[in-house]
Structure 1
Amino acid sequence: MSPAVHGPAVHGPTVDDQTRCVHYRTELDVIAIRFACCGRYYPCHLCHDETADHGSRPWPAGSGHERAVLCGVCRTELTIDGYRGAPSCPRCSAAFNPRCVAHYPTYFE
């Protein structure tokens, strides 16, 4: 029996308890983003687009203080500023995928 997962719910087609999804599931893909449009966590923009009943929009400039990134390993919620450029989770040291920076404009203005 796997341990209970605590923290916010993650929506979309996840493949494990660490927020990996059908689109991104490498060892480093362990974050979920809380979308500004709905306040719900999804593993990626594709998961949101496929399952939400609305279009996504990025967090506006100046939202760096918002807790909008979830570490899938320890379930810590990070601020946008705390996540951007962080190579790993400040709480559990789980490594983050450095290629996620390519999607920042989708999530953050």
Structure 2
Amino acid sequence: MPERPVVRGPTVDEQTRCVHYRTSLDVIAIRFACCGEYYPCHLCHEEAAGHVARQWPYDARDTKAVLCGVCGTELTIAEYVAVKACPHCAAPFNPGCALHAHLYFEPDPSEV
């Protein structure tokens, strides 16, 4: 199995929970388009990265940019937005994260 990516920012455990989001369902980290680094959330990136975040363009949906903090599997953006749990280990993801998706990923142009 490949080495697990480093998750930057104020994580509070090995499953990528952070000081901002730390419920049992907060187990993903996002690789940011601007720097290619994983952070647990947009607030962690804002505090630690030293630059403005940039969304992944819609046509980059095949990019591995979401890390399951439970098993370490990297998901493509398309895989992540289509599931409610990790397809590898079945760990449930926080459904509330969809409220912040626009901070990480450009929306589908047909839905705007």
Q: TM-score, normalised by structure 2?
A: 0.91
Q: Where does 1:36-47 land on structure 2 (aligned, <5 Å)?
A: 36-47=33-44
Structure 1 spans left out of the alignment, 5+ residues: 1-5
Counterpart of 2:102 in structure 1 is 105
Alpha-carbon RMSD across the aligned residues, in angstroms, is 0.6
Find the aligned partners of 1:27 and 1:71 in 2 and give their Cα distance.
Answer: 13
Counterpart of 1:3 in structure 2 is none
Find the aligned partners of 1:24 and 1:86 in 2 and give their Cα distance.
Answer: 20
Structure 1 stretches of at least 4 aligned residues deviating more than 4 Å after TM superposition: none
Find the aligned partners of 1:48 and 1:13 in 2 and give their Cα distance.
Answer: 9
**How far 1:41 sits from its partner (Å)?**
0.1
User: Which amino acid in the other structure matches residue 85 of structure 2?
Assistant: S
**How far 1:85 sits from its partner (Å)?**
3.2
Counterpart of 2:75 in structure 1 is 78
Structure 2 spans left out of the alignment, 5+ residues: 107-112
Q: TM-score, normalised by structure 1?
A: 0.94
Q: Give the total of aligned pairs.
A: 104
Counterpart of 1:20 in structure 2 is 17
